[in-house]
Amino acid sequence: EPSDHVMIVEMAPRDGLQNEKQPIDTARKIELVNLLSDCGFERIEVTSFVSPKWVPQLADAATVMAGIERRPGVRYAALTPNMQGFEAALAAGADEVAIFASASETFSMRNINCSIAESIERFRPVAAASRDHGLPLRGYVSCVVECPYEGPVSPEKVADVAWQLRALGCYEISLGDTIGKGTSEAVDRMLAAVLAELPVAALAGHFHDTSGRALDNIAVALERGLRVFDAAAGGLGGCPFAPGAKGNVDTVAVHDYLVSRGFRTGLDEEKLGRAAAFARSLRSAA
Ligand code: HMG
Ligand code: MG
């Protein structure tokens, strides 16, 4: 009997803000995290410990981590592409770290400056260190249906990379439709391939809403048994290395959709509405 509880992992402070061109005050980022902490999320991705030359918007990662009010029961996570990022995340008190790979070679080069195989080797010590320090390790696979540089990505490649991340010790693999081009059919084919390799409880869906298809794709993933989805309050975001990528699917839209389907999210609607409004206020005017 599949669970009627669905976990939404909140992405706005990280995936949401990383692509904003105008600098956003650190204090306002902290306020966003604090507002989100009040909503009932179990996990919030706060920031990334990546090169400030590559992602200037998140150069204040350590200051944000130091400034947030930590709610008991909330895990504050950060992206860590290599040991330098892991050490910084550890020093900043991250409760969870995430490594991020791609199912497309070109996207891997553009995003983290190495091949897929090299990225797995870079992640190996991060995985070992996270285990030594008792920090849960999450993994991402980007471009699970389509790459902005290479076009369609084969479901078998996605399954292979997801399997490698799982073998490194990731408790959960988040499957990213980075540019939001996935159709229901393509997402379903991809999930079938990944589910042939990995248990459904180890998978999360990460849908960008570029084409307005994210909720349809969540429906497909729910049908396949997935119960964890990434979303960003206010629908903020996009990846700087994925031209055309728009925001993560809006947390409010996902919440409303799930509730309409009879699922429980554990989120406080009113507080979520306030956090989302604040998140939208951070977005640069178009
Ligand atoms: P690199 O240039 O190959 O790294 O970058 P390097 O080891 O050769 O180091 C070069 C310089 O970077 C050195 O500084 C290092 O200190 C510094 P310099 O001596 O030139 O002054 N450096 C770092 N600084 C801070 N933190 C670090 C770090 N590592 C090296 N951790 C690297 C490799 C991965 C660091 C770089 O390519 C990078 O930072 N890329 C950014 C990737 C990123 O954040 N992308 C967006 C997030 S992924 C995403 O959005 C997709 C997702 O949402 C799922 C989906 O939607 O698909 C997760
Ligand atoms: Mg993303």
Per-residue pLDDT of the chain (286 residues; tens, 9 = 90+): 567 999 999 999 999 999 998 999 999 999 999 999 999 999 999 999 999 999 999 999 999 999 999 999 999 999 999 999 999 999 999 999 999 999 999 999 999 999 999 999 999 999 999 999 999 999 999 999 999 999 999 999 999 999 999 999 999 999 999 999 999 999 999 999 999 999 999 999 999 999 999 999 999 999 999 999 999 999 998 788 888 778 999 999 999 999 999 999 999 999 999 999 999 999 875 4
CA of 252 to the centre of ligand 1 (A): 30
| Ligand 1 atom 47: residue of nearest CA | 239
**What is the model's pLDDT at position 209?**
94
ipTM over cut 0.95: yes
Residues contacting ligand 1 via CB (< 6 Å): 15, 18, 48-51, 54-55, 79, 81-82, 84-85, 100, 111-113, 140, 142, 176, 178, 206, 208, 239, 241
114 is catalytic: no
Task: Out of 39, 143, 147, 239, pick the active-site residue.
Answer: 239
In testing the pocket of ligand 1, which one of 17, 20, 50 has its CB within 8 Å of the most ligand atoms?
Answer: 50
CA of 264 to the centre of ligand 1 (A): 36
**What is the model's pLDDT at position 2?**
67
Rounded distance between C-alpha atoms, residue 138 and residue 145, angstroms: 20
The one-letter amino acid code at 119 reads: S
Task: Starting from the CA of residue 141, give the closest ligand.
Answer: 1
**pTM reported for the whole predicted model:** 0.97
Q: Which ranges of the chain would DSSP assign to H, the alpha helix?
A: 26-37, 61-67, 83-91, 105-112, 116-132, 155-168, 184-195, 214-223, 251-260, 269-282
The DSSP code for 50 is S
**What is the model's pLDDT at position 237?**
87
**What is the model's pLDDT at position 286?**
47
Crossing angle of the two packed helices 214-223 and 184-195, in degrees rounded to 10: 40
CA distances from 249 to 16, 191, 225, 235, 273 (A): 10, 19, 19, 5, 15
CA distances from 15 to 19, 168, 222, 239, 268 (A): 7, 23, 22, 7, 22
Crossing angle of the two packed helices 269-282 and 251-260, in degrees rounded to 10: 150
H/E element holding 135? none
